[in-house]
Amino acid sequence: MADINIQRKKNTPSPWLFLLVVLAVVGLGAYFLFRAEVNAPPTLPPTPPPPARRAVDSLSGAETGPRPAEDALNDMAAETAPVTAGVLAAFAATEATRPDYGREGLRLLTSALVSLTDRDDLRTPFIGTRRDDLTSATSRLEEPAASLRPGCVAAAALVQAIQQQGYPELQTAARQLSAQAAGLSGRATTATEQQALRTYFQQAAELLRAFESPSVAQ
218 residues of the chain, pLDDT tens digit each: 555 555 555 555 566 666 777 777 777 776 766 666 655 555 555 655 555 544 444 444 444 444 444 444 344 334 557 899 999 999 999 999 999 999 999 999 999 999 999 999 999 999 999 999 999 999 988 888 889 999 999 999 999 999 999 999 999 999 999 999 999 999 888 999 999 999 999 999 999 999 998 877 66
Task: Give the three-state DSSP class for 27.
Answer: helix
CA 183 to CA 193: how far, in whole Å? 10
> How many C-beta atoms surround the C-beta of residue 209 within 10 A?
14
Give me the phi and psi of 74, to 5 degrees please. -65, -40
Q: Is 195 helix (H, G, I), strand (E, B) or coil?
A: helix
**Rounded Cα gap, residues 206 and 85, in angstroms:** 7
Q: Identity (one letter) of the amino acid at 161?
A: A
Exposure on the CB side of residue 191, measured as CA atoms within 13 A: 0
Q: Where are the domains of the chain?
A: 100-211
The candidate with the shortest Cα–Cα distance to 54, out of 36, 37, 44, 69, is 69
**122-128 long-range CB contacts below 8 Å, 24 or more apart?**
122/162, 122/165, 122/166, 122/215, 124/165, 126/161, 126/165, 127/158, 127/161, 127/162, 127/165
Q: Which amino acid is at 164?
A: Q
Residue 141: per-residue pLDDT = 87
Residues 6+ apart with CB under 8 A from 162: 113, 116, 117, 122, 127, 211, 215
Taking the model in full, what pTM does it have? 0.63
Q: What's residue 39's pLDDT? A: 57
B/e letters for 113-142, b = 16+ CB within 10 Å, e = fewer, are bbebbeeeebebeebeebbebbeebbeebe
